[in-house]
Chain A
């Protein structure tokens, strides 16, 4: 019998707890980002760390993403364990070369003689009308280039275990946390991401998707915020007698195709839900992966994602493009 855990944390507290533990145990772990020191991270990703570890290890950096993300690559190659934050994932463009051409490629180009043990943390996601340049998830963009592990926690429990694994991993890891899930006072989280979290250290392996709800009629594959929206959809589908399974990917690279395929072999119906753009992204990739491995088991396929438009500002427009529980419900019904 597993022990019963009573303590509940918000996702941000769980993420910070893992970082603090690693920093206590290893002097070579440090955090760089804008407004991570006194402010504690705009989305609470470093809340309290500067107070414990000081400015040298919780470093406010110039608004120079190319320089400090590239510096994280360099320090990692020296053997340190930097964590560098993109305040919003949308700012990746400023430093795309460092991310795409160094962080992701140096291990391979060196024949694995060089390692880049860094973590790139990035706040992702919309739902609060921050418009086209501050609302994207860009999951597909990060998962597309070979060479970075890409993880997306959906609850506090995952946030902690994935962060421990990310810091200890000898490869570069992009850790993409959804703003709406962090449990920030001014950006209220839905029910769900605040979960029991063990006090002790634990690691969650990458490439292990989690079945968050079991069901026989359809498989909803999703990640991040949309795990919770899918669970809401599944609840109301249950009222209509439709039993949906919800698979939380937890990492995009590596991708746990086995868990998805096992579910599809049971349900036959695949609904992929993503908060990234529809084309050339996560939904297409999951569908293709399932088709590769289990085409015969597939009876129907639905994709629920952002239409291919930048994320608009006004509330009715943003609501139109970001999938909600109703959109997921409808997609599942179409498979039945």
Chain B
């Protein structure tokens, strides 16, 4: 059973993530309006916000430790927040600042925080194999850490995902695959591109359990993930979890969403996993004043991170040429040994 303190932690993560996305949306659109110009404004590039996905981040990561690896896709912020990624440095990265997680080199789709074993990347399903690799390392080293790969429902048709399921299954690796089903892959509705209704059904073909959580209810996600993460930690192999979430915003900022029926947009806006969790908190005896206080804490933390990020310096252009190698180009040595390769006596 989920404890009141776990409920509060999930609420904090989710409220932080929601406020974060709403504030990033504002910051991002600054300078890009009225005519949307992707290359203007304080936050450069593409921005994929995860409002409506929060339960999938918090409900799963609640069971993870810092040494458990998480890979996330192009819509990563809610997962990063739930995994405990340094919010200030993550925000600085999104603003393209020198003190960002990747010194401004990676950006919002390429966040790396090795302190809490988090990474994300932008090519569909490409985070799955590295998560399998983290599971493989745990198995070889005989530790009880686990790995979680997040992906969208649009990613379940990608080879990197399907091959990873098989590899994790045949090696009994401690990996949990988490599909966030928001019904859309940019403009493509799920049923246009995939013939199974539930991504979790893919598990059957790989001899692993598949579980779907039909509503974005943080407690239901928590329960399903406890079993899946527990199974991995106990070395009983991988699990495929699917969580129904919803997309409250466009695919990326600036997406006109002309392809999306208004009812669908309204339905997404009407479902709110955070409000649902507030009811769970009340039922667990947490009073409204405390909920308000948690929300205020979350919002303050976001504001502080954004302000901090904006105060950070931009990178020096010359830094573009740094960070290519850990070792110098010559490798671990710059001298070649002097063997007599001719051999023989003379």
Which among A35, A63, A127, A131 is the interface contact of B39 at CB below 8 angstroms? A127
In angstroms, Cα B125 to Cα A63, docked, is: 9
* B97 A314 Cβ-Cβ under 8 A: yes
B186 interfacial contact with A, CB 8 Å: yes
B188 near A134: Cβ-Cβ < 8 Å: no
Q: Is B187 touching A316 in the complex (CB atoms < 8 A)? A: no
The reply to whether the CB of B50 lies closer than 8 angstroms to some CB of chain A is no
Q: Are A130 and B46 in contact (CB under 8 A)?
A: yes
Pick from B5-13, B105-113, B219-227, B330-338 the stretch touching chain A.
B105-113
Q: CA separation between A252 and B174, bound complex, in Å?
A: 47
Could you say which residues of chain A place their CB within 8 Å of the CB of B107? 129-131, 313-314
Assess whether A165 is interfacial by the CB under 8 Å rule: no
A62 contacts B186, C-beta separation under 8 Å = no
Which residue from chain B places its CB closest to the CB of A135 in the assembled complex?
B45
Give Cα A64 to B162, complex, Å. Answer: 11
Q: Is A24's beta carbon under 8 Å from chain B?
A: no
* Binary CB contact string for chain B from 95 to 109 against chain A (1 if under 8 A, 0 otherwise): 011001010111111
Given A313-B105, A317-B320, A34 and B123 touching (CB < 8 A)?
A: no
CB distance from B91 to the nearest CB of A (A): 13
Tell me, in angstroms, the Cα distance from A252 to B74 when the chains sit together: 32
Measured between alpha carbons, how far is A162 from B316 in the docked complex, in Å? 41
Question: Are B159 and A317 in contact (CB-based, < 8 A)?
Answer: no
Nearest-neighbor residue (CB-CB) of A128 within chain B:
B39
Q: Which of A35, A42, A314 contacts B44 (CB 8 A)?
A: A314
Distance to closest chain A CB from B116 (angstroms): 21
Q: Return A57 CB to nearest CB of chain B, in Å.
A: 15
Write out the residue numbers on chain A whose beta carbons fall within 8 Å of the beta carbon of B110. Answer: 131-133, 313
Query: Which chain A residues lie closer than 8 Å to B39 at the CB level?
Result: 127-129, 187
Q: Which of B30-55 contact A (CB under 8 A)?
A: 35-39, 44-46
The distance in angstroms between the C-alpha atoms of A91 and B74, with both chains bound, is 14
B14 within 8 A of A: no
Does any Cβ of A come within 8 Å of B140's Cβ? no
Selected contact of B157 from candidates A37, A63, A310, A312, CB within 8 Å: A63
The answer to whether A66 touches B159, judged by C-beta atoms less than 8 angstroms apart, is yes
User: How near does chain B come to A234, taking the closest CB pair, in angstroms?
Assistant: 24
Contact with B along A256-294 (1 / 0, CB 8 A): 000000000000000000000000000000000000000
Interface size on B, residues (CB 8 A): 51
Known: A91-B123, A131-B109, A187-B38. A314 touches B324 (CB 8 A): no
Determine whether A51 belongs to the interface, using a CB cutoff of 8 Å to chain B: no
Contact A320–B320 (Cβ < 8 Å): yes
Residues of B within 8 A of A60 (CB): 187-188, 192-193
Given A38-B187, A186-B36, check contact A309 B109 (CB 8 Å): no
Which B residues are CB-close (under 8 A) to A308?
Answer: 324
**B176-212 interface (Cβ within 8 A of A):** 185-188, 192-194
Can you give 30 A-B contacts (C-beta < 8 A)?
A34-B186, A38-B187, A61-B193, A62-B157, A63-B154, A63-B158, A63-B185, A63-B193, A90-B123, A91-B123, A127-B39, A128-B39, A129-B39, A129-B107, A130-B45, A131-B45, A131-B106, A131-B122, A133-B123, A134-B122, A312-B104, A312-B320, A313-B105, A314-B100, A314-B105, A314-B107, A315-B44, A316-B315, A318-B320, A320-B320
18 extra interface residue pairs, beta carbon distance < 8 Å, beyond A62-B154, A63-B185: A39-B187, A62-B194, A63-B125, A64-B157, A94-B160, A130-B45, A130-B107, A131-B109, A131-B110, A132-B106, A133-B109, A133-B121, A186-B254, A188-B37, A309-B320, A312-B105, A313-B44, A314-B104
Residues on B lying within 8 angstroms of A by beta carbon are: 35-39, 44-46, 93, 96-97, 100, 102, 104-110, 121-126, 154-155, 157-160, 185-188, 192-194, 254, 258-259, 314-321, 324
7 shortest interchain CB distances as A-B pairs? A313-B107, A314-B96, A129-B44, A314-B104, A129-B45, A62-B157, A38-B259
